[in-house]
Structure formats: structure tokens, C-alpha cells
Amino acid sequence: MESYPIIESHGLIGDLQTAALIADDGTLDWFCAPRFDSPSIFAGLLDHKRGGYFRIAPDGAENVRKEQLYLPGTPILITRFLTSDGVGEVVDFMPVAGDTATDRHRLVRLVNVVRGTIRFRIDCQPRFNYGRDRHDIEMYADGAVFRSPTLSMTVHRVRHADQPPDEVEIERDGDGVRAFATLREGATGGVLLETGSGEPPRLIGPEEIRAMYAQTRDYWRAWLSGSCYRGRWREAVERSALTLKLLTYAPTGALIAAPTAGLPEQIGGTRNWDYRYAWIRDGSASVYVLLGLGFTEEARRYLLWLNDRICEAADRATPLHHMYRVDGSTALDEELLDHLEGYRRSRPVRIGNAAADQLQLDIYGEALSAIHFADSYGLRSSYQAWLNTVKSIDWLCEHWDRPDEGIWETRGGRQDFTFGRVMSWVAVDRAIRLAQRYGVPGEIDRWSTERGRIYHQIMNRGYHPARRAFVQHYDSDVLDAALLMMPSVGFIAPDDPMWQSTLRAMDDELVSDSLVYRYNPTASPDGLPGDEGTFSMCTFWYVEALARSGRLNDALITFEKMLTYSTHLGLFAEEIGPTGEQVGNFPQAFSHLGLIKAAMTLDHLMDAAPGPCRAPLGTLVERDSPRP
């Protein structure tokens, strides 16, 4: 187990079609190609013996101090090694792949020595298709070619003009390649990994590699310069924005939940899911953040992807799927990789996701809320998109009163989840607003009737008088952190006594020193063994709920405490474990969406507050008329 680096020791790099994780010891131990959801080439994070890895680090040095940082304004990762012989760096980045899907992806690993002389060791041990496929190796003077039944990968040598060629040794090592390079102060070497070409390796010269570096750096800094956010916590907000962009599949605009699969919610536990897919819920939440930061084009691209999914469901007269592959397909059959031991022996390792077939009614609310919010920023739906939306709302009006699996994708059977009803109300409400705003077709009278029915049902059955709180599902007394969103979506006023008592109940039961649990799995069996950590996105929802409810100081300290749980690079996994460690898939889009939204809400309310401890009880949701 000691062979596994902790989850939070990793940095993320990517090219907008796939991504890689690199630990602070110089080990690349997660990389899938050609897409986020493709089989892995390196999966040492899930099995350090069978998964494959690609490590660059000082050879034989003792008492090495390791530091890691991002080049400011970019996802270019710098891993520093401070040794008694000198100081060296490994600089990792992926040149942007563009908007056209391709099998060819490049991952650059540069090695610099800034002081002294250091002998580096390079170990490249790929294991294709999650370690299930055998591969052949072709050795050359300047690298190697790995060929599996489904994918080829070439490792090219990178040489600085001042580096003598005879100081590099390359040799085969079992199913991989090993190399040694002695670099003196000012020298640069390294490798370029390229998938999909199958071409023999070549020596990459300094001009070519400098051009790749400059283009990558300039692309990301130019993109980030488009942010209009000038508020508090700007560094954390911008790093989260960069992370969300890295998790976006550029050819379609889809946002994946996380770039990893199988990382456990509890070390040694079985809650190990594959999150390399696009959830309607996550992507729709990104529209608020993207537009709030000024990234209109990214929001537009996602909305086009979303409208395609709504159109498909409308044509079939079936409910929306709540998750898809990045290309919009729904082939997500769950499979167990029994030959992998899992991160720190957390079995089983799953790829695919059986929850894809669940009914989750809340996604209609997230989708319609995003469409309505985007409209207020001038991103109006097309005629055909609106007709498909009408069909979806008509379907929802017929089926909202059905049990479903809920936002948390439990595997304990369907229930009448309160949050699903709340978001069904949101979906119908936003559709009514849009229809009234533009006079476009829609059965507004029928929709209004159903909106009222949903509202009264929630108030009569979703609120538990003895608990004095809205509860997870009808006929239960279990609290659910998803209901923290009730004020932010406009369902209930944040100063309503029923909401205030609900928030106090959550304070007492779901909050642990500012961190928030989704629900109590002991009180509400979810069909899964084991426990889990606190959910980071729930903590950020809690921050918003506190701020909107007039508890601005509580919101501030909760938010500041939460920032202390981020990694050294400002990243968040899905959850925080019992001793403050990051657990679950990493980094998690929803966590970073929550961070940005909470920061924007807090910043707005602090500016609007008449005093240091007071804030208006208004809600920062949507405008009722289009933005000029």
C-alpha cells in the first residue's frame, strides 16, 4: 500500500480531449487515450504492479525534497527535486489537441537542471487497456514504439542543443523502456510521448519543443484572460476554472465529472466508480459558472451538446439519460477489472457505470435552469431546440410523481425523493418563464397546474413536522444535503421559518467542523456497504445556503476552512476523508463548480452588505428579463 502516492499529491494536465495525473515524485500513473473515457495506457494509480507507470526522477539520490506547482495561469505542471547534488525540474504539459477528435495526442516531459549536476532515471512501463493487452516494443536510438492491438505509442527523445548525446543511455526493461541521463546546470532533456502515430521515434530539437511549450502556455493564458472575475479568492477561482476547462471534451463541449475511475470514497471500501463521463447535472451547473466568469463560448458549446441530448430523448419519447459518454452515446455497461487490486487495495475496480440506466428526475430542473439562465445572457434557444424542450416538459408533467433513484445514484431502490420533486418544480417553472417571456408555444396552463401540484406536494409531504426539516424522501426523517439548494433555485425564501429550521437541523446532523455529509447512510440505507467522507460540493452548497440565509460570517469561515482542505495545487477530489485527506475521483468537476459558485455568491453578498456581519436575504439566481 505504501507504493501508492496519496491522491492529493497529484497534478492534472490535459489537452482538452484527454488528461493525465502526475504525482509529486515524478510518476505519471494515470493516462487514457485517445479520450477521457478510453482504456488506460498508464493506470498505476489503480494497481502499482499491473497498471503501468511513467516515472522521471533523480537516480539514487537520498533525502530528496519534492515540490510541485503550476506555471501561473496555465495547467503546465512543474515538479521540483531539491537534492544534495543540485536542483532539477520535470515540466509536464500536453499541447492542446483542438476541437477535432483525434487519436494523436502528445505529452511532453521536460527535464531541467537549474543548479548542480543530476543523474535522472526514466522508467516508461505502459500497460494498455487497463493492463489487459499485450504489446510489442521496437527499440531505436532515440526512443521506442509500443504497439498494442488497439493503440500505438511512440516515445521520442528530447535533447537540448548543449547536451552531449553520449550521456543518455536507453535500454529495454521487460515490457518497457529505461533510460538514464546526466544533466548539468542549464541543460534540458526529456521525452515526448505520442499516441496514435505509430511512427518511429526521432530526436526532438530545442526549437521544436520550445515552440510547443510557448504555444501551450500562451493558449491557456489567453483563455484565462477572458475571465471577467475580479472578486475575492481570485486565485482559487481561476485555478478551478482552468480545471473545469481541462475536464471539457473540446470536440463536443461535454464536461466530464472527473478524469479518473475507481478511486475509492473510502480507502479499502467498495464505493469505487467510473466518473469519466458527462452528467447532465454537472454540465448544466457549469453554465452558471462559465457565464458568471465570462466564458460565453464554452457555455454555448455545452448548451448545444445538451440540446442534442434533449432532442434525442424527445424523438424517442423517453426520459433524458442523466449521464453520457463525451460523444453523446449511452454505452456505459459497468465492468469489474478483477485483475487490478485497486487504489491501496480498494476493490472492486469498475469501468463503465451501471447508474447510467437510473431514473433521476432532478436533471430536468438543472437542464431547464441552465437554459433559462443562459437566455438571460443572450444565449437564446433555437426554434427546434425549444420544441424539443416543450416535449421534455410535457413528458415531465406526466411523470414527475414517480419514484426515482435520486441525485446520489443510490442502489437501494427508487423513492419519492424530495430533491427530485424540487427540481421538477424548477424545470416546469423555468419553462413557463421562457414561454411567457417570448410568447413561444407551450401548454402554459397545464404547466402552471402541474407546478402548483408539485409545490403543494413538497410542502405537505417533504417537510417533516417532528424533525422541523425538509427530508430526503417522503415518509422518512432522513436529512439530505442536496436540499441546501432549495433557496438558491428560488423554491423557498431563505428567511422562511421552515427553511431556517431545516438549515439548523443540517447544522446539527450533517455538518462536521464546516464539512458536510450528503446524508446519513446508516439512517437511510443506500444499498451499498461501507462509509464515505464529506462531499466537497455539499460543503460549498452549505456556504451558499448560509450566506443567503443571513449567516454571512458563518459562510465566510466555512468557505475559508474549506480552502485549507485543497491540495498544494488548489485541487479538490470528490470527498474529504476522516483525517482531511482527499478521497474519491480526482479532481472533481462538481467540487470546483461549487467552489466558484460559492465564491461568486459570497463576493456579491459581501459587497452588497450594509455592514460587516449583515447581508441582504435576496437570492442570486436569474434575471426575469434578458440581459441587454
**pLDDT for 525:** 63
**pLDDT for 624:** 40
User: Average pLDDT of each block of 10 consecutive residues along the chain (628 residues)?
Assistant: 86 98 98 98 97 96 93 98 96 97 97 94 98 96 95 90 63 96 91 94 93 98 98 98 98 98 93 96 97 98 98 93 97 96 96 94 98 97 96 97 93 91 98 97 97 98 98 95 98 98 97 94 65 92 97 97 98 96 97 98 89 41 38
Q: In this structure, are 462 and 538 located in the same domain? A: yes
Out of 174, 200, 224, pick the residue that ends a domain: 224
Q: In this structure, are 187 and 251 located in the same domain? A: no
Q: In this structure, are 432 and 482 located in the same domain? A: yes
**pLDDT for 160:** 66
Out of 205, 224, 243, pick the residue that ends a domain: 224
Cell for 166? 553520449
Q: Is residue 621 part of a domain?
A: no
Q: How far is CA 381 from the centre of its chain?
A: 26
Q: Is residue 50 part of a domain?
A: yes
Q: Is residue 619 part of a domain?
A: no
Compute the distance between CA of residue 228 and CA of residue 219 in angstroms, rounded to an integer: 17
Q: In this structure, are 177 and 251 located in the same domain? A: no
Out of 172, 206, 224, pick the residue that ends a domain: 224
Q: Is residue 625 part of a domain?
A: no
**pLDDT for 47:** 97
Question: Any idea which residue has 407546478 for its cell?
Answer: 451
**pLDDT for 61:** 81
Q: In this structure, are 206 and 242 located in the same domain? A: no
**pLDDT for 167:** 65
Neighbouring residues of 324: CB distance < 8 A, sequence distance ≥ 6: 254, 277, 278, 280, 309, 330, 332
**pLDDT for 377:** 96
- Going through 75-104 in order, the beta strands assigned E by DSSP cover 77-82, 86-93
Residue 232, CA atoms < 13 Å, CB-side half-sphere: 16
Q: In this structure, are 152 and 116 located in the same domain? A: yes
Q: In this structure, are 477 and 497 located in the same domain? A: yes
Compute the distance between CA of residue 563 and CA of residue 560 in angstroms, rounded to an integer: 5
> Are β-strands 323-324 and 40-42 bridged in parallel, bridged antiparallel, or unpaired?
unpaired
> Are β-strands 136-140 and 105-125 bridged in parallel, bridged antiparallel, or unpaired?
unpaired
Q: Is residue 620 part of a domain?
A: no
Q: What is the CATH number of the domain that holds 125?
A: 2.70.98.10
**pLDDT for 163:** 55
Q: In this structure, are 218 and 240 located in the same domain? A: no
* The total number of structural domains that make up the chain: 2
pTM: 0.95
Q: What is the CATH number of the domain that holds 322?
A: 1.50.10.10
The secondary element (H helix, E strand) that includes residue 515 is strand 515-516
Q: Are 256 and 268 in contact (CB under 8 A)?
A: no
Q: In this structure, are 474 and 559 located in the same domain? A: yes
Q: Is residue 614 part of a domain?
A: no
Q: Is the dihedral of CA 464, 467, 469, 475 positive or negative?
A: negative
How big is the chain by its Cα radius of gyration, in Å? 25
Alpha-carbon dihedral of residues 279, 285, 289, 294, nearest 10 degrees? 80
Q: Are 245 and 94 in contact (CB under 8 A)?
A: no
Q: Is residue 616 part of a domain?
A: no
Q: Is residue 443 part of a domain?
A: yes
Q: Which domain holds residue 428?
A: 234-608
Q: In this structure, are 196 and 309 located in the same domain? A: no
Q: In this structure, are 164 and 241 located in the same domain? A: no
Q: In this structure, are 118 and 136 located in the same domain? A: yes
